[in-house]
Structure 1
Amino acid sequence: MRLLVAGGDRVDAGKTTFSVGLLASLRRDGYAPVGFKPRAGNDYWFDHDDVRASGDAGRLYGKDAQKLAAASAGDVEPETINPVHRLWRPTPGKTGLLGESGRTFLVDRVTGEAGPEFVVNADAEAEGLLPDEVLDSLPLDDARRVDSLSGFNEVMRERYVPAAERLARRVAATETSVVESYADIAVPLSDAPFDAVAVVEPGRARIYDGARYLKAREAASGGPREGQLEEYVDSVVGMLEPLSTVGLRALGNEARGNPERVADAHAEAYDALVEAAER
């Protein structure tokens, strides 16, 4: 059973809380699920504690992947379920190497076949934008440096695309998988099949048949071979009627931090999602 959790809002849709509770609910029902987060990122300023927590161990991952790994069955490391993690920093008034406005990508961690690899923004490094603690904590001596969009695209083809393909194969091979998308991107892995999809936003979860959702995603992108452009959730669900819509309760910090309590609070939505997957 392969389940996708996507967000109806770009920010703070509640995807990770929902996904972690879903993993706890599935484990409670006798499944051995593994959670996946194809892409994630931290901001050095806004997520500083998280950056320091992983950096102290010479690693780069975020709290979302850490929560998914902890809630999964078995011994799971964040880097193995989250193949691409990006570290940003705010740069007001500046356009970054990748065209980003007001912030600049500093370092990417890509999980290669032999383990974590790093890609460094050479322009940001030359301008002194990489904090000393990042330079000191991460093993960047042998990291790939990029200083142009064309150079970054080359690294994308060499490292990022194979990492995503490996993860898609692992998702397909995992008996029970939960994949959390990023932002409001409809499908984070082009080659992974999904049996059911939950689109989560504050106050509700909309449940969709996986095959129909993926077919709508193809239509939104113009066809199965035009997956270079990411499609947004709104573009996909605008073509579909949900199988069901389930209300979600607001949860406080303490409850959100306890997967079992989330599983209890959102039990109706999880039951509807599993039912859709088993149709």
Structure 2
Amino acid sequence: MRLLVAGGDRVDAGKTTFSTGLCAYAGATGFKPRAGNDYWFDHDDYERAVSAGRLYGKDAKRLAAASPEAVEPEDINPLHRLWRPSPGADAGIIGASHRRFVCDRVGDAFVVNANADLPESAREHLPLEQATTVETLAELNAVMADRHTTVLESVREAILARDRAVVESYSDIAVPIQQVEFDAVAVVDPGRARVYNADRYARAREVVGGSTHEGQLEERVSDVISHCDPLAEVGLPALGGEKRRDPDVVAEAYEVAYEAVVTAALS
């Protein structure tokens, strides 16, 4: 059983809290194929990982902790991007205004933006001596077509090898990894979860096609769900920070929503 959790229009939609609870409810391993954090806005998370010579975010850490088997954040999150704020109109090689791509962790290797200001702590603690350096979008896309594709294929195989897997998307991207057939889809917004038949969600995604996003062709959730109706819509109660951090507590609080997701997967 493979379950996809995607977010609505808002970046902070509650996807990770929902996903960790779903892992606990279904006894599933959590995956976040692509993720990222910001050197400024997520500085504590950045420092915690980098001081240990690693680069991962809190979402992957929470998903790994919620999984029934012993997995590290890097095992379930092969691609992690580090950003930092970039004042002014220059959008950099990614085309993202007000923030600049600094580097990617691609499996165990790194890809560094030659035009970004690499934090000194990253230089000190991360194994960047053999990192690939890119200066243009064309160079980055070439690396992504090679190395990024390889590590995504590896995590795809890991997802398919599990009897039960919860795959969390990033931002408001409809599907974070290709060539995985899901059994049900949950789209999460603050206060609600909408459950979709996976086949209908996939067909709607085909209708939408690809839109340019960070150098790739990816579909946004809002475009996809405009072409299909949910099987169920369930309200999600607000949870305090301590409760959100406990997957078993989340599983109990969101039980009705999780039951709808699993029912859709098994139907």
TM-score, structure 1 as length reference: 0.91
The equivalences for 1:160-199 within 5 A come to: 160-199=148-187
Aligned-pair distance for 1:95? 2.0
Q: Could you say which residue in structure 1 is the equivalent of 2:45? A: 50
Q: What letter corresponds to residue 34 of structure 1 in structure 2?
A: T
CA distance in 1, matches of 2:224, 2:39: 32
Q: Could you say which residue in structure 1 is the equivalent of 2:213? A: none
Following TM superposition, the consecutive aligned residue runs of length 4 or more in structure 1 with deviations greater than 6 angstroms are none
Q: What letter corresponds to residue 207 of structure 1 in structure 2?
A: V
Q: Could you say which residue in structure 1 is the equivalent of 2:197? A: 209
Q: What letter corresponds to residue 174 of structure 1 in structure 2?
A: R
Aligned-pair distance for 1:157? 1.2
How many aligned positions are there? Answer: 261
TM-score, structure 2 as length reference: 0.95
CA distance in 1, matches of 2:82, 2:178: 24
The equivalences for 1:41-120 within 5 A come to: 41-93=36-88, 94-111=90-107, 116-120=108-112
Q: Could you say which residue in structure 2 is the equivalent of 1:146? A: 134
SS of the equivalent of 1:229 reads: strand
Q: What letter corresponds to residue 107 of structure 1 in structure 2?
A: C
Aligned-pair distance for 1:131? 1.5
SS of the equivalent of 1:105 reads: strand
Cα shift readout 1:97-146 (whole Å, capped 9, x = no counterpart): 222211111111011xxxx110111122xxxx112111101110111111
Return 5+ residue gaps in structure 1 as ranges. Answer: 28-32, 223-227
Q: Could you say which residue in structure 1 is the equivalent of 2:115? A: 123
CA distance in 1, matches of 2:45, 2:145: 29
C-alpha RMSD of matched pairs (Å)? 1.1
Aligned-pair distance for 1:153? 1.2
Cα shift readout 1:233-268 (whole Å, capped 9, x = no counterpart): 111111111111111001111111111111111000
Aligned mate of 2:247, from 239, 246, 259: 259
CA distance in 1, matches of 2:95, 2:229: 36
Q: What letter corresponds to residue 11 of structure 1 in structure 2?
A: V
Cα shift readout 1:191-222 (whole Å, capped 9, x = no counterpart): 11100000000111111111111111111117
SS of the equivalent of 1:3 reads: strand
Q: Does the 8 Å contact 2:24/2:247 carry over to 1?
A: yes
Aligned-pair distance for 1:66? 0.5
CA distance in 1, matches of 2:234, 2:97: 36
Q: Could you say which residue in structure 1 is the equivalent of 2:14? A: 14
CA distance in 1, matches of 2:242, 2:68: 22
Return 5+ residue gaps in structure 2 as ranges. Answer: 211-215
Taking only the aligned residue pairs, the percentage that are identical comes to: 57
SS of the equivalent of 2:100 reads: strand
